[in-house]
């Protein structure tokens, strides 16, 4: 009888941040459908994302750019300020050229329409190659 070895690596812990519930659910569904990733929490504002990230210590944050209060770019700066933060991937419905990501510390920008399991895996792998 042949037994397949199971990976004992824990899933990548993901925080999903978006002010619109349908997008939060869609991003969560992508994470849930991707082997090796699990959602540990969600947030609906930039301020909440900072608190939740400190509390839950995710390894990856999927951050909407346009949020009420402080936007996703400023929230990303604050989450990454101590240098020990997670990988942050910014998402938006805007084109990449319409979003000023300079200085945010985000590892990547992905248009929401292009976000799926392949892009999630690619963004995570890319952040670890570059970092």
CATH of the domain at 47: 3.40.50.2300
Asked whether residue 40 is domain-assigned, the answer is: yes
Q: Give the count of domains, the chain.
A: 1
For residue 12, the Cα-to-chain-centroid distance in whole angstroms is: 11
Asked whether residue 102 is domain-assigned, the answer is: yes
pLDDT of residue 40: 97
pLDDT of residue 100: 59
Asked whether residue 39 is domain-assigned, the answer is: yes
SS3 67: coil
SS3 55: helix
Domain range enclosing 32: 12-115
CA distance 128 to 114: 21
Asked whether residue 67 is domain-assigned, the answer is: yes
Asked whether residue 3 is domain-assigned, the answer is: no
- Residue 19, both tokens: 């002010």
Per-residue pLDDT tens listing for the chain (131 residues): 444 445 556 899 999 999 999 999 999 999 999 999 999 999 999 999 999 999 999 999 999 999 988 999 999 999 999 787 899 999 988 666 656 566 778 888 888 989 999 999 999 998 876 54
pLDDT of residue 75: 95
Asked whether residue 129 is domain-assigned, the answer is: no
Asked whether residue 125 is domain-assigned, the answer is: no
pLDDT of residue 117: 95
Asked whether residue 127 is domain-assigned, the answer is: no
């Amino acid at each position: 009888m042949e037994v397949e070895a199971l990976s004992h690596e824990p899933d990548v812990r993901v925080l999903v941040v978006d002010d619109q519930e349908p997008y939060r659910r869609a991003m969560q569904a992508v994470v849930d459908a991707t082997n090796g990733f699990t959602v540990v929490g969600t947030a609906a504002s930039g301020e909440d994302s900072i608190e939740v990230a400190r509390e839950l210590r995710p390894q990856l944050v999927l951050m909407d750019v346009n949020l009420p209060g402080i936007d996703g770019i400023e929230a990303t700066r604050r989450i990454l300020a101590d240098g020990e933060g997670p990988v942050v991937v910014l998402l938006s419905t805007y084109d990449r050229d319409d979003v000023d990501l300079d200085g945010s510390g985000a590892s990547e920008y992905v248009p929401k329409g292009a976000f799926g399991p392949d892009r999630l895996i690619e963004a995570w792998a890319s952040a670890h190659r570059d970092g």
